[in-house]
Amino acid sequence: MTIRDVAAAAGVDISTVSKVLSGANISVRDATRARIEAAAASLNYRPNASARSLRMSRTGAFGMLVPDFTNPVYAEIVRGAVREAESRGRVILLAELDPSHSPAIYLRLVQERRIDGLLVATARSQSPILSLLETDEVPHVFINRRGTASSLSVVNDDEEGAAVGARALIEAGHRRLGIINGPPDIDTAQRRLAGFERAREQAGLPPAVVVSGAYSAGGGHSAARELLARPGERPTAVLVSNLTMALGALAAFAECGVAVPGDMSVVGFDDGELAAVAQPPLTCVAMPHDQMGAMAVELLESVLAGEPAASAVVPTPPTLVFRSSVAPPRI
Amino acid sequence: MTIRDVAAAAGVDISTVSKVLSGANISVRDATRARIEAAAASLNYRPNASARSLRMSRTGAFGMLVPDFTNPVYAEIVRGAVREAESRGRVILLAELDPSHSPAIYLRLVQERRIDGLLVATARSQSPILSLLETDEVPHVFINRRGTASSLSVVNDDEEGAAVGARALIEAGHRRLGIINGPPDIDTAQRRLAGFERAREQAGLPPAVVVSGAYSAGGGHSAARELLARPGERPTAVLVSNLTMALGALAAFAECGVAVPGDMSVVGFDDGELAAVAQPPLTCVAMPHDQMGAMAVELLESVLAGEPAASAVVPTPPTLVFRSSVAPPRI
DNA sequence: GCGGATCAGTCAATCGATTGACAAGCTCCG
DNA sequence: CGGAGCTTGTCAATCGATTGACTGATCCGC
């Protein structure tokens, strides 16, 4: 099933087959074209990717680096990217790369020329690959994190998302707000905090209680306990910066006898099936993570095509999914 | 940074470089070998994967088909597979392939010769790729599902896992058991049911209430409501065949005023951070999903090496992670 | 009917690495 | 000293596809 077989079956030279099937502008009699196409179809021919890559210096593959497969947020980003890549005839080479991990896998992908470009969804700013990216000069796009000045990125409108969440609490009548945020060195956490504070200030509310923890259930759990332990008047409503954190926070509130939404209203970031079965069902700000992945593929593609490209924010607005974890404060 | 550059830097022929770096048994003076290795290291040379693949008809990549990235079970399987692949110098090409999805992506991977073998973690038995796998004759290994007679697979000991869960309930004193199982046409659900029933019969207990639903929070939620609605005496304890289902079931029990563990003890399948922050914290049977992925890579590798290979069950025994969702039945 | 343009397709170099066949130089032994 | 045998490499074909240069054949206008 090589191009040679197709050429033999159609009675033409392999170069003709190549030009016809790749859509090059070559003048060929309709009859010849039809013979070639019929032969290719009947033999179930597809060009060998290795041969093609070698000749064209273009593999048709993107690499994707993700810090944690089991995090549903990244799962959605990966899904969006894989789907978009597929529709463009590309494939995705996936690797998990947490900060503690050696970048060996990354080096393999890039230096062996297995990929045309890299989608980088690792959030930490001190990740060792950041410097490698600069020196290797691989076309790349950051996802869910703004890159350095010279590099491109696609992010969600986290500021607006946090503002949407905060406004939901404010409109329910809360005046003492809190936020359980992600790690302060992570870009998304910074933007969410900024959006939250913007909404709070616009509403003329007093400073909020800010605590932070890891983007995980355990992180949300301990951050929530820290928030409850803070001296001073306790907030009546919190925004939690991530779904799994929010589930952890709900557990902490339950343990400490803080009723939700009676004593504490909660809005979580990132919607999902789990939010609906939380106890109580969790009001969430739904972020279009899959679109972020898809847009990153799109952006990387136009970089490779040499088209003008700029960092982007996913245009789909964050939406509030209202469930029963938010209620007016007790009087 | 091609082999030609290394050869020039070391003052030898490219074939010598190739033989030295690939470890072929060639006799080379130590000094020459050292020159070549130094040149390769200083130029940061790595063989071009496309050229290598073309010549050797071996890409160094495995394809992996997964039905749902966002399912944490698959995320763990993928993690195990990716890590093992990485340690063997391979890369993983990932595609999401639910049954409704066209197998176009699969065809691309196989027919373009992008991969040496395929890891198939799609569970449904009527999936369209099953027949394609036979005709394309691509080396493959099924994960978490037994294959046809002719094909290899790696599965967890789901029977034993279910038995472990059932015995935990039986030892707590329960005699009327129920099971909220996955879809009956899925292999894992069948095996879990079998293990559950085995344990129940060995304990001499009466028939259990069996309901099933999709492997999702929503599926667990509706299956739990169905279980509560069943006529006859209600079970005092249930095994739930999947973590997200278990979270859905807990929500259903809470809605219906069924106290856990007071009115109903619950054991879930698959441990995870979310189980710890469920309300109440969920007793779980932990299954070594990542090992399943790793073993599948190992198995596929030995198939390719022409070594004798047989389907395997992950040897790590399932373990019970005890939390507060199990208690003795009320008298 | 002739020169130039266009059509329809072929030729051959090339991408980068691998590998079996082969060759030059050296050693060793009778 | 001459040949066998080993050491230390080199030569060149090959994997499958792409693509610029090129060549016959045909057509068109005058």
Rounded Cα distance between A238 and A180, Å, is 7
Interface test with B, best of A2, A6, A91 (most B CBs within 10 A): A91
Kindly calculate the radius of gyration of chain A based on its CA atoms and give it in whole angstroms.
25
* Helices and strands (H and E) in chain B: how many: 13, 12
Q: What DSSP character marks residue B294?
A: H
User: How many residue pairs from chains A and B have C-beta atoms closer than 8 A?
Assistant: 163
Collapse the DSSP code of A262 into the 3-class scheme (helix H, G, I; strand E, B; otherwise coil) and give the result.
Answer: coil
pLDDT at A144 over 90: yes
> What is B146-194 written as a DSSP string?
---TTSEEEE--HHHHHHHHHHHHHHTT--SEEEEE--TTSHHHHHHHH
pLDDT of amino acid B258: 97
| Tokens, residue B309 | 């290979």
Residue in chain A nearest B56 by alpha carbon: A50
Estimate in Å the CA A112 to C1' C10 gap, whole number: 34
Quick: pLDDT tens for B279-298.
Answer: 999 999 999 999 999 999 99
Closest CA to A244 of A278, A291, A209: A278
pLDDT of amino acid A125: 64
Beta pairing, strands A283-286 & A319-321: antiparallel
Closest CA to B127 of B155, B150, B149, B96: B96
Q: Which of A47, A75, A105 sits opposite B69 (nearest CB)?
A: A75
How close A87 comes to chain B (CA, Å)?
9
Residues whose CB is less than 8 angstroms from the CB of residue A125 and which lie 6 or more positions away in sequence, other chains included: A145, A185, A186, A187
Contact (Cβ atoms closer than 8 angstroms) between residue B62 and residue B297: yes
What is the identity of the amino acid at B274? L
Please give the residue that has the higher pLDDT: either A155 or B149: A155
CA angle B218, B222, B228 (to 5 degrees): 145
Whether omega before A280 lies within 30 degrees of 0, making that bond cis, reads yes
Contact (Cβ atoms closer than 8 angstroms) between residue A319 and residue A286: yes
Q: Is the CB of B1 under 7 A from strand D?
A: no
Q: What DSSP character marks residue A97?
A: -
Q: First CA to last CA across chain B, in angstroms? A: 77
> What is A41-59 written as a DSSP string?
HHHT----HHHHHHHHT--
pLDDT of amino acid B137: 81
The per-residue b/e assignment along B8-30, b for 16 or more CB within 10 angstroms, e otherwise, is: ebbebeeebbbbbbeeeeeeeee
Distance of CA B258 to the CA centre of its chain: 33
Find chain A residues with C-beta within 8 A of B78's C-beta: 69, 94
How close B218 comes to chain A (CA, Å)?
7
Closest CA to B247 of A72, A25, A116: A72
Determine, for residues A91 and B75 on separate chains, whether the beta-carbon distance falls below 8 Å.
no
What residues pair up with B240 in beta bridges, in sequence order? B180, B268
Determine, for residues A50 and B53 on separate chains, whether the beta-carbon distance falls below 8 Å.
yes
CB burial of residue A57 (10 Å; 0-12, 13-18, 19+): exposed
Quick: pLDDT tens for B130-182.
Answer: 778 877 789 999 999 887 777 899 999 999 999 999 999 999 999 999 999 99
Contact (Cβ atoms closer than 8 angstroms) between residue B58 and residue A64: no
Q: First CA to last CA across chain A, in angstroms? A: 77
Closest CA to B261 of B276, B279, B247: B279
Beta pairing, strands B283-286 & B319-321: antiparallel
Quick: pLDDT tens for A50-92.
Answer: 999 999 999 999 999 998 898 999 999 999 999 999 999 999 9
Residues 8-47 of A with CB under 7 A from strand D: 14-15, 18-19, 21-22, 24, 45-47
pLDDT of amino acid B36: 95
Alpha helix ranges (H) inside chain A: 3-10, 14-21, 30-43, 49-56, 72-87, 104-111, 129-136, 158-171, 187-202, 217-229, 243-255, 273-276, 289-304
Q: Is the CB of A55 under 7 A from strand C?
A: yes
Instruction: Return positions of chain D under 7 A from a protein CB.
Output: 7-12, 14-20
Contact (Cβ atoms closer than 8 angstroms) between residue A105 and residue A134: no
Rounded Cα distance between A68 and A126, Å, is 16
Q: Which of B86, B112, B254 sits opposite A49 (nearest CB)?
A: B112
Q: Please list the pLDDT of chain B residue by residue as tens digits (331 residues).
A: 899 999 999 999 999 999 999 987 788 899 999 999 999 999 999 999 999 999 999 999 999 999 888 889 999 999 999 999 999 999 999 998 876 777 788 888 999 999 999 999 976 666 677 778 877 789 999 999 887 777 899 999 999 999 999 999 999 999 999 999 999 989 999 999 999 999 999 999 999 999 999 999 999 999 999 999 999 999 999 999 999 999 999 999 999 999 999 999 999 999 999 999 999 999 999 999 999 999 999 999 999 999 999 999 999 999 999 999 999 998 7
Determine, for residues A54 and B59 on separate chains, whether the beta-carbon distance falls below 8 Å.
no
For tokens 């191009």, the residue is A3
Determine, for residues B54 and A50 on separate chains, whether the beta-carbon distance falls below 8 Å.
yes
How close B223 comes to chain A (CA, Å)?
13
By residue count, chain B amounts to 331
pTM of the model: 0.93
Q: What DSSP character marks residue A238?
A: E
For tokens 């009087």, the residue is A331
Rounded Cα distance between A134 and B327, Å, is 57
pLDDT of amino acid B97: 85
What is the identity of the amino acid at B217? A
Estimate in Å the CA B82 to C1' C27 gap, whole number: 52
> What is A152-174 written as a DSSP string?
EEEE--HHHHHHHHHHHHHHTT-
Interface test with A, best of B62, B65, B91 (most A CBs within 10 A): B91
Determine, for residues A69 and B89 on separate chains, whether the beta-carbon distance falls below 8 Å.
no
| Tokens, residue A40 | 């290719």
Contact (Cβ atoms closer than 8 angstroms) between residue B118 and residue B112: no
Rounded Cα distance between A59 and A53, Å, is 5
